[in-house]
A and B are shown apart, each in its own frame.
Chain A
Amino acid sequence: MMHELYGFLRGPMLWVALLVFFGGSGYRVAAMWRLARKKDAVIFNYSSGYYALRSIFHWLLPFGSRNMRNHPVMTVVAFVFHICLFLVPLFLSAHIILIKESWNVSWPWLPDHAADAMTWMVVAGCGFFAARRIIQPDVRYLTSTSDYLILAAIAVPFVSGTWAFHQWPAFPAATLVHMASAEILLMIIPFTRLSHMLFFPFTRGYMGSEFGAVRKARDW
């Protein structure tokens, strides 16, 4: 049972997850592009690479926008959360070894204790965002059940991953939960609010173009 599940999650299911993630992402961006061409064609007249990149740059910079300076706690948590969210899976020794086994390529990895600390920062970030959705009235107004499910979808692969790393009770099962939940997370990215990962440069670029080229103002 263990061997079949492991083989399935490591083999065919991983390919399905990668295909849905990359294929779904490409589809979502292309569909959105077509929709914008149809319903909002005017933006293509003033879209500007310079103003778009200027806006993207300021919003990628910690405290680079007025909104971030007005909400320092949210800014710090959001930046730490997103940085750890990307660095841990891509630079974890155990992941790099698995990729080395499959494709014979490797790159430097993070020390395991650092990756573990960063994992808990991701989990703590999920807790912070959930609490924020409950406590802050304006955010609660915009919150639906799926927003909590999305936070759980992120927390589960991280908790189960560190569970497997520390070899806490029933860690072989935790390893399987880790693999399955991470594959689910990859597959839901293009089709949920997590798609801000794909649309961020476009929404920011759109705002930057309009504010820069039309209103002659900053949007950060």
Chain B
Amino acid sequence: MIKHKLSYRKQKIFSGVAVFVFFLLILALRAFSTDYIETVDDPAFEKRIRPAVVFYHDDHNDRAGIDDCSVCHHVYENGIKTADMSVGMACSDCHMSGPAAAPDLIRVYHLQCRGCHLSEQAGPVTCGGCHKK
């Protein structure tokens, strides 16, 4: 007897729903996970003059071979880089001296990103290379 077995139609619906829920879960996990970063979208910039930089944090560091967080999340003391790291701090905490100091923050972002891309001869260096429309 195949009385308790689900009909073919119901089987299809169930598997469809299961696949849908599975992808929803993955999306939810990605959205809520803190270390899955896709853009440099610093809230310290009140007014944007360029699109936020597309930046896949983990992919970038895998490809660039960066394991040490302090390479980017640095701490300087008296002008000398320490081994400490500033993970969890906003860049603007140190790099924005006043409310009208957006150029200060833009400057250090550019020096950090493009500076490294130039010295490593890898990664975008032109304006549109990072600020993609």
Interface flag for B110 (CB, 8 Å) = yes
Interface hit among B14-22, B52-60, B125-133: B125-133
Contacts of B121 in A (CB 8 A): 3-4
Which B residue's beta carbon lies closest to that of A96? B103
CB distance from B120 to the nearest CB of A (A): 9
Cβ of B133 and Cβ of A167 under 8 Å apart? yes
Interface flag for B117 (CB, 8 Å) = yes
Cβ of B125 and Cβ of A6 under 8 Å apart? yes
Which A residue's beta carbon lies closest to that of B106? A97
Flag B65-93 by CB within 8 Å of A: 1 or 0 each.
00000000000000000000000000000
Which A residue's beta carbon lies closest to that of B129? A172
Interface residues of chain B: helix, strand, loop or mixed (majority): helix
Total chain A interface residues with beta-carbon distance under 8 A? 22
Cβ of A101 and Cβ of B49 under 8 Å apart? no
Cβ of B103 and Cβ of A175 under 8 Å apart? no
**26 residue pairs A–B, Cβ–Cβ below 8 Å:** A2-B125, A3-B122, A3-B125, A6-B125, A6-B126, A7-B118, A94-B127, A97-B103, A97-B106, A97-B107, A97-B110, A100-B106, A100-B107, A164-B126, A164-B127, A164-B128, A165-B127, A165-B128, A166-B133, A167-B128, A171-B126, A171-B128, A172-B126, A172-B128, A175-B126, A175-B128
Measured in the bound complex, the distance between the Cα atoms of B125 and A164 in whole Å is 12
Flag B95-133 by CB within 8 Å of A: 1 or 0 each.
000000001101100110000011001101111110011
Which B residue's beta carbon lies closest to that of A7? B118
Which 4 interchain pairs have the tightest Cβ spacing?
A175-B126, A167-B128, A106-B103, A3-B121
Contacts of B133 in A (CB 8 A): 166-167
CB distance from A70 to the nearest CB of B (A): 43
Interface size class for chain B? 10 to 19
Measured in the bound complex, the distance between the Cα atoms of B102 and A121 in whole Å is 29
Contact A3-B126, Cβ < 8 Å, known A93-B49, A106-B103, A112-B49: no
Interface flag for A104 (CB, 8 Å) = yes
Measured in the bound complex, the distance between the Cα atoms of B110 and A6 in whole Å is 14
Contacts of B111 in A (CB 8 A): 101
Flag A83-109 by CB within 8 Å of B: 1 or 0 each.
000000000011011001100101000
Contacts of A96 in B (CB 8 A): 103
Contacts of B128 in A (CB 8 A): 164-165, 167, 171-172, 175
CB distance from B60 to the nearest CB of A (A): 17
